[in-house]
Structure formats: structure tokens, C-alpha cells
Chain A
Amino acid sequence: MTDDRSSYLIHARDVRYRYGEGDISQYVLKGADLSVRSGEFVILAGPSGSGKSTFLSLIGALRKGQEGYIEVASHDLLNCHEHEMRDIRRKIGFVFQQHNLLNFLTASQNVEMVLEMFNGRFDEQHRKEKAREVLEKVGLGKQVDYYPRQLSVGQKQRVAIARSLVHQPKIILADEPTASLDGKTGVQVVEMLHHMVKTQGCGALVVTHDNRIFDYADRILHIEDGVIMAG
């Protein structure tokens, strides 16, 4: 592994973040370092309150950084404007603990929502084809027109993964993607993510407690008390 920054999809150094102001402020991140390269599947594990979610929201450009250095997809996150953060988020595939699918849209329409964001780039036919294609990849080729209520929890999470991958992001950020799934489905979902990373050449940072999926990681990092350590 080289230290050349340009080869990193995610590069975070000495990231500090505090909640509150003045005397009552408290640091939840106390100098976190982390890097993810293209084609790498990295797991970040740690107990509740260790700063995982805060770190993920900083890397995901959902929250403005305070101290340190964060570079994601060649963008310096600490020195960018709100609208730039939104543009950076469009380059990331997010998988959340909850699928958060719109219940009034079919699986295909939920996936197409991401492509509509880039509406100048994909026409309607193209959007439908891409959504179908990615849903087939996650094993839901027969459920493209199903509404979320017609899908199992595992299938909903697969739709959420399809949604996060359909625009072929450079980076995948996953927050406890197996938390709401049974063991077998959880493993299937992670296998799928792992497969996408290896075939599409993107980088994935997966935050999880679930040690059943640790075998899929290229690297396992632990975060504790706001500091990230190699596993």
C-alpha cells in the first residue's frame, strides 16, 4: 500500500468533532484517521457512542467538519460549501440501517429516484433499464414492480442497496446494513455489497457490529472513544 493521497477514495486525518459550545462542549472524535482505496471493502466496528455515526456523517458530507482533514472523491470536505457537499453526496452510495424506501413507489421507482437526480443524464427508458438491471443483480428481477409492503425486510434492504449502487458511485458508505436482517439474509446482503465493490472497483466503508460479516473485509478497523485503530 502506498501513501500517495491521490489513490485514496476516502482519506481522513486527525479528524476531531465536538458537540456543544464552550465549557459544555465534548469531543466525540479525537483525531480519527482512515483511508479507503478503490476496490477495498473496509469494516469499521465499535461500541455505541464511540463516534461511528458522527464519523460516517462527516465522510458522507452530511455534516460539516470542524477540525482535521477529510478528502472524499478528491474533494476537501472541510473547505467546501453546502451545495458542493450535496454534489459530493451524489457520488456516494449510501446504505442505511433502515431501508427508508418510499412506500408509494415500486422497487423500480425507488431505484429510479436516484437517477432522476441526474435527470439530464438519463432518459426515462434508460432509467427504467438501469433500475431493472441493478435490481436483477441484487436478485429482485421478479419484484421490480412490487411496492415495499409486498417485499420482505431482506428484499427491502436489497432494494436500498440497488438504490445506492444504480448510479455507480465511487464510494459506498453503509451503516449497519445487516442490523434489521436475519443472519442468512444479512450475509447475502454483505456478499452482494462485497461483490459490487470487487466488480465495480469502488471503495466501501461499512460500519457494523455484526462479526459474521467480518470475513468479507479487506481491513477491519475499530473505533473507540473517538479514535480509530487497526483491527
Chain B
Amino acid sequence: MTISKAIYFPFRLAWRQLIYDKVRFLTAISGVIFACILVFMQLGFKDSLFESATLLQRVMTGQVYIIHKQSEAIWRLNSFPRQRLYRAMSIPGVEDVTILYVGQAPWKNPVTGVNRTALILGIEPRSTVYPLKGLDQHRKALQMRDAVLFDELSRPEFGPIKDMLKDKPSVPVEVAGRKVDVIGTFQMGITFSADGNLIVNDTTFFKLFPMKSQDGVDVGIITLKDGADPKYVQAELRKILPEDVKVLTRPEYVEDEKAYWNDLTPIGYIFNFGVIMGLVVGLVIVYQVLFNDITNHLHEYATLKAIGYEDFYFVKVVMSSSAILALMGFVPGWLLCLNLYSVVEDAIFIEMNLTASKAFFVFVLIAGMCLTSAVLAVRKLRSSSPVDVFS
């Protein structure tokens, strides 16, 4: 038997068996599509959580970062003394250091008066480590007292700030109970922890957060000279700094932020659980279809075994059925999710990307789910003995 025929014949038999009862076939495919959508959406939410949560870390151009050891996430930072950061200047290869202050405060919608919590980034306006769209053109104006830049990708509940700025140079708003002026916009994007973002200079930041120590640094950003090795600088910093701070390269800082959401909050667990539930539901549906196919044709399979077919032929039939269901369920599931991602993006204002690698990963999961169903269902084939046909 040639290999192609050894695969083709059982595959064709599986196909004919599946499509014979079209309603059942569509039901089975719907089950796989359902599992596919569940998995895609859960992974999409999880990835968008990670992507949005690490947005700032991925945007900033510093190569090495210092944060307090007890800092958990960008919105749960502990401060460390600024002297620690300045000591970095003594390390060969370090070009510059800059400080990022981070806090959360209520923003009052200037139209409706409703409060929303905003993430407020206090920066040194001259620093170039934040290549955010729109920031450059307002760098000078941001040095002014009480000047605020508003993230135009914030949720609409923050008010039509961008439209209001078309008519006048600044929009007076209330942040943390204090009057400030929005003098322009930038683009960053919202996260699961903040519905909107603001950028202020360090002086304005401490006006908004008077309880915060001016000696404290939330994130120390270190820019290296061309060709300097971040790992070397990291190692040197660890030698001279006490253990109450974490010294991280940029990729490590991104992973550290992800680890918070994945390990320290229930959110990562919930999304992972959703993926597993989707796969379990799909597995049960596919198993039921394959098991019924075997059960309904036990006598026929026994007859074919009696006339000379080998047992493994029917294993291949069941495996082929599972492969067909995986493929026929995945493709429409994937196409549906391309649209669903856009719908969800519009609803939650957080970017959701259905990348090729994610599609491939989901296909592997769905194929694995169908294969597992087949392996479980194949055990029923043992009930089909050719001896029984003469009973």
C-alpha cells in the first residue's frame, strides 16, 4: 500500500461518513467553531491585557530601569530614593538618567462632571525617552505650570477634549480636585488599570500628589551610550545598589509587568481558565460525534475487518474525522474572530491583534483538542470484533 493511499482512503471514508448526516456534521463543526471562538477571545483578552499593560514599558527608549523591589505594576509603584538613580551615572556606558513619576487620580469630565480615574505620568519635559505621538510638539508648553497633556485614546467618558481643543488653546479641567489646563493631546492607549492617561511635568505632578515625597523616584530610566551593553550596566548597578531596588533591562521590565497581571492578579488565571473551558467543551462535542460514529458502525467495521481490513485502518478513519472537524471548525472560527476582535476593540478601546502566530497557536490547540477526542473515542473500536459477524 502506498503511503498516499494509506492516508487517502481512510480520509475519504471519514469525509463521506461525516457529511452523510449534514445536520450532525454542522452541529459538530459548530462545536469546534464555538471552542475556537472561546479560545481566540480568551487569548485575545489576555494578550491585549499584556499588550496594554506593558505599553509604556515597550514605548520608552531607556535600556535599563530601576524600580522599588516592592513595586508590582505601573499603577502600583513604591518610590525609592533618587540618590540611587544618580549613582547610575558613575557606571561606564550610562548616557543619561531620567525620572518617571506615576500616580492615579480622579479626572472630572469637563462636560458631564463625572469622575473617572486617570493614570498620571509625571515626566521631565525635555526628556526624549518617551517617543509618544504628539508629545514632541507640546514639549515646550508642557514645562508650564499646571499644563496637562491628554491621551486622545482615553475612553470617551473623559469628555470630548480633542474637539474642545480645536476651538481654544487650552481646556480647564479638574484633576485630583485641582484646576489644571489641558494644552494638547498625545497618543498612548488605555490599559486594564486605567481608562485614560495624562502627562504632566514633575512640578505639576507634585502639585497633584502633594503627599508624595519629592525625593522619591517611581521609575528610574537609564539611557545608555551607543554600543553599551545593558546587561553589563545592569550587573554593575546591582553591585553598587542595595537590594531594595530591582534593576531590569527593558525586556525584563516588560516581563515583570506581565508577571504581575499573570501571577499576582486573578485576571491571568481567569483567561487561562477560559481557554481550558473552551477546549473542554470542544473536546466533549467532538468526542461525542466520533464516539457515535464508531458506535453506529460497529457491525460494519467488524464486517470490513472480517473481509480483511486491518484494525489500524479504522484508527486512521477516526483520526481523519478529527482532523477534518479541526480544520472545518478552525477556518470559520478564525474568520469570525477577525471580525469579533474589531467589534471588541471598538467596545473596550484596547487594541486586540489577531496575529498569524496567535492563529497558528489556536489551530494547534484546536487540532490537539480534536486529536485527544479521537484518541479517547478510538478505544471504542476494540468493541468491533470480526468474530462477532458470525454470531
Known: A53-B390, A62-B387, A98-B299. A104 touches B306 (CB 8 A): no
Known: A100-B300, A104-B20, A109-B16. A117 touches B307 (CB 8 A): yes
Find out whether the CB atom of B1 lies under 8 angstroms from the CB atom of A103: no
Q: Could you tell me the distance in whole angstroms from the C-beta of A104 to the nearest C-beta in chain B?
A: 3
Q: Could you tell me the distance in whole angstroms from the C-beta of B129 to the nearest C-beta in chain A?
A: 66
Task: Please report which residues of chain B, range 257-310, place their CB below 8 angstroms from some CB of chain A when the two chains form the complex.
Answer: 297, 299-300, 302-304, 306-310
Asked if A191 CB lies within 8 Å of chain B CBs, one says: no
Residues on B with C-beta less than 8 A from A103 are: 20, 300
Asked if B355 CB lies within 8 Å of chain A CBs, one says: no
Find out whether the CB atom of A63 lies under 8 angstroms from the CB atom of B389: no
**Chain B interface size range:** 20 to 34
What mask results when residues 1 to 42 of chain B are scored 1 for a CB within 8 Å of chain A, else 0?
110010001000100110111000000000000000000000
Asked if A224 CB lies within 8 Å of chain B CBs, one says: no
Known: A62-B386, A105-B16, A117-B309. A100 touches B9 (CB 8 A): no
Find out whether the CB atom of A86 lies under 8 angstroms from the CB atom of B300: no
Known: A89-B306, A104-B16. A116 touches B390 (CB 8 A): no
Asked if B391 CB lies within 8 Å of chain A CBs, one says: yes
Residues on B with C-beta less than 8 A from A98 are: 299
Distance of A185 Cα from B203 Cα, bound (Å): 102
Asked if A73 CB lies within 8 Å of chain B CBs, one says: no
Distance of A175 Cα from B300 Cα, bound (Å): 16
Find out whether the CB atom of B1 lies under 8 angstroms from the CB atom of A120: yes
What mask results when residues 201 to 212 of chain B are scored 1 for a CB within 8 Å of chain A, else 0?
000000000000
Find out whether the CB atom of B300 lies under 8 angstroms from the CB atom of A117: no
**Chain A interface size range:** 20 to 34
Asked if A39 CB lies within 8 Å of chain B CBs, one says: no
Find out whether the CB atom of B17 lies under 8 angstroms from the CB atom of A94: no
Which of A53, A96, A119 is in CB contact (< 8 Å) with B5?
Answer: A119
Find out whether the CB atom of B307 lies under 8 angstroms from the CB atom of A114: yes
Residues on B with C-beta less than 8 A from A53 are: 390-391
In the complex, residue of chain B having the shortest beta-carbon distance to the beta carbon of A105: B16
Residues on B with C-beta less than 8 A from A113 are: 13, 304
Find out whether the CB atom of B390 lies under 8 angstroms from the CB atom of A87: no
Residues on B with C-beta less than 8 A from A100 are: 299-300, 302-303, 389
Residues on A with C-beta less than 8 A from B304 are: 113
Asked if A213 CB lies within 8 Å of chain B CBs, one says: no
In the complex, residue of chain B having the shortest beta-carbon distance to the beta carbon of A114: B307
In the complex, residue of chain A having the shortest beta-carbon distance to the beta carbon of B19: A104
In the complex, residue of chain A having the shortest beta-carbon distance to the beta carbon of B307: A94
Residues on A with C-beta less than 8 A from B303 are: 94, 96, 100
Distance of A90 Cα from B306 Cα, bound (Å): 9
Which of B21, B310, B389 is in CB contact (< 8 Å) with A62?
Answer: B389
In the complex, residue of chain B having the shortest beta-carbon distance to the beta carbon of A207: B390
Distance of A43 Cα from B17 Cα, bound (Å): 37
Q: List 10 A-B contacts (CB under 8 A).
A: A56-B390, A89-B307, A94-B307, A102-B17, A102-B297, A103-B20, A114-B308, A119-B1, A163-B307, A175-B389
B→A interface (CB under 8 Å)? 1-2, 5, 9, 13, 16-17, 19-21, 297, 299-300, 302-304, 306-310, 386-387, 389-391
The 10 A-B residue pairs with the shortest CB-CB distance, nearest first, are A104-B20, A90-B308, A100-B303, A53-B390, A89-B308, A119-B5, A57-B390, A102-B300, A62-B386, A100-B299
Known: A57-B387, A62-B306, A104-B19. 7 other contacts (CB 8 A): A57-B390, A94-B307, A96-B306, A100-B299, A103-B300, A117-B309, A119-B9
